[in-house]
Amino acid sequence: MEEAVIQIKNITKEFKVLNHREGVKGGLMDLFSRDYRIVRAVDDISMNVEQGEIVGYLGPNGAGKSTTIKMMAGVLEPTSGEILVNGVIPYKNRAGNSQHIGVVFGQRSQLWWALPLIESFKLLRDIYQIPKAEYEEMLSFYASIADMENLLHKPVRQMSLGQRTLSDILAAFLHNPKIVFLDEPTIGLDVSMKAKIRELILSLNEKKHTTVILTTHDMGDVDALCRRIVIIDHGKMLYDNDMDHLKGFFGSYRTLKIRVSGDVNGHLAEIQRQFPDMRTETEEGWITILVDEEKTGVMKVLNTIQESVKVRDVQIEEISTEDVIRKIYEGDMG
């Protein structure tokens, strides 16, 4: 069997951070005797990733996602543990590693601000010594999947956030790296731009069999792109498996959506009183209730609600990715 393109074994990353003391006196004290504490941002994480996979690397803010990515990219050295990316230790071989990886950190462009995109591409071509034929092929592939006419001759600083993100992603894939790290690439984008970005990532992954490690808070990204997800919290791994497996685990859950008229919040309060253990939500006249069929049947819930609330429309769906992830954070995987 081929070696996994990313191999991580028990990596930990600790940061030493200064405890600032307050006020002028505190500032002076900081100068003379420093009071540090240790933050363990990544705590004993292990995983292997195969060539061509798209892995969703998920977790709440501060979970340690970006720190892990920086270690894979060779920007940070692990405090302990082993990490091999494409067979090399990233932080010991940054130049060698960068040939095989691409990175996009959402909202922080890697491109030359004042230059039209095409000039950035040419610089990247020279830096990575991309052979002419491959470069040309990549540009024509790009033209087939994105609206390059509107991008290529525009200076990056004149681009919208969406155009810039798109450009950043194209730039990250340009030298045909084996692995691309996308850290919150869709943050701040509108719905249609998000859809475009997802299509782009999928096309690039399919065409070049590129491994993609993606962090995101948008479950739409996960649904569209990731067959496997890894979830971390407080630096520790909570879960690593296929999306299908995960949805199967919560297979007895249904999302019951009902449309009501009148006082939606009043109806919601009534439903919450009737079913205090079920998670509820409202949006634009719809009330959503997460029902575990092993405990209470959906029809029973619906009938009970209808005794006090006039229901105008009903939808029953499987559990959403968002609810699945939320349940993992809540420790419901046992």
Question: Which residue spans within the chain are E strands per DSSP?
Answer: 6-18, 36-49, 54-58, 80-85, 101-105, 179-183, 211-215, 228-233, 236-242, 253-260, 280-283, 286-292, 311-318
What count of Cα atoms within 13 Å lies in the side-chain half-sphere of residue 13? Answer: 23
Q: How far is the CB of 293 from ligand ADP (least distance, A)?
A: 34
Contact of residue 75 among Mg ion, ligand ADP, none (CB under 5-8 Å per partner type): none
Give the residue from 240, 244, 185, 328 showing the smallest Cα distance to 49: 240
Q: How far is the CB of 215 from Mg ion (least distance, A)?
A: 6
Contact of residue 83 among Mg ion, ligand ADP, none (CB under 5-8 Å per partner type): none
Query: Which is nearer to ligand ADP, 72 or 170 (by Cβ)?
Result: 72
Query: Which is nearer to ligand ADP, 67 or 165 (by Cβ)?
Result: 67
Query: Which is nearer to ligand ADP, 63 or 172 (by Cβ)?
Result: 63
Contact of residue 59 among ligand ADP, Mg ion, none (CB under 5-8 Å per partner type): ligand ADP
Query: Which is nearer to ligand ADP, 56 or 59 (by Cβ)?
Result: 59
Q: Which residues lie below 8 Å from residue 230, measured CB to CB, with a gap of 6+?
A: 47, 55, 56, 57, 58, 237, 239, 240
Q: How far is the CB of 41 from ligand ADP (least distance, A)?
A: 3
Contact of residue 311 among ligand ADP, Mg ion, none (CB under 5-8 Å per partner type): none
Query: Which is nearer to ligand ADP, 16 or 25 (by Cβ)?
Result: 16
Q: How far is the CB of 183 from ligand ADP (least distance, A)?
A: 7
User: How far apart are the C-alpha atoms of 158 and 116, rounded to whole Å?
Assistant: 9
Contact of residue 170 among Mg ion, ligand ADP, none (CB under 5-8 Å per partner type): none
Q: How far is the CB of 197 from Mg ion (least distance, A)?
A: 18
Contact indicator for 242, 227 with CB cutoff of 8 Å: yes
Task: Give the number of residues in contact with Mg ion, rule: CB under 5 A.
Answer: 2
Contact of residue 97 among ligand ADP, Mg ion, none (CB under 5-8 Å per partner type): none
Footprint of ligand ADP on this chain (CB under 6 A)? Answer: 15, 17, 39, 41, 59, 61-67
Contact of residue 260 among ligand ADP, Mg ion, none (CB under 5-8 Å per partner type): none
In 111-179, where does DSSP find H-type helix?
Answer: 117-127, 132-145, 149-152, 161-173
Query: Which is nearer to Mg ion, 74 or 106 (by Cβ)?
Result: 106
Strand order, beta sheet including 6-18: 36-49, 6-18, 80-85
Query: Which is nearer to Mg ion, 65 or 194 (by Cβ)?
Result: 65
Contact indicator for 315, 46 with CB cutoff of 8 Å: no
Query: Which is nearer to ligand ADP, 67 or 86 (by Cβ)?
Result: 67
Contact of residue 298 among ligand ADP, Mg ion, none (CB under 5-8 Å per partner type): none
Residues 51-110 that bind Mg ion (CB under 5 A): 65-66
Residue type, 249: F
Give the residue from 223, 295, 299, 312 showing the smallest Cα distance to 256: 299
User: How far apart are the C-alpha atoms of 69 and 73, rounded to whole Å?
Assistant: 6
Q: How far is the CB of 184 from Mg ion (least distance, A)?
A: 6
Instruction: For the chain, state the CA radius of gyration.
Output: 24
Q: How far is the CB of 106 from Mg ion (least distance, A)?
A: 9
Owner of token pair 């991309």:
130
Q: How far is the CB of 125 from ligand ADP (least distance, A)?
A: 31
In sign, the C-alpha dihedral spanning 193, 99, 142, 226 is negative
Residue nearest to Mg ion (CB): 66
Q: Which residues bind Mg ion (CB under 5 A)?
A: 65-66
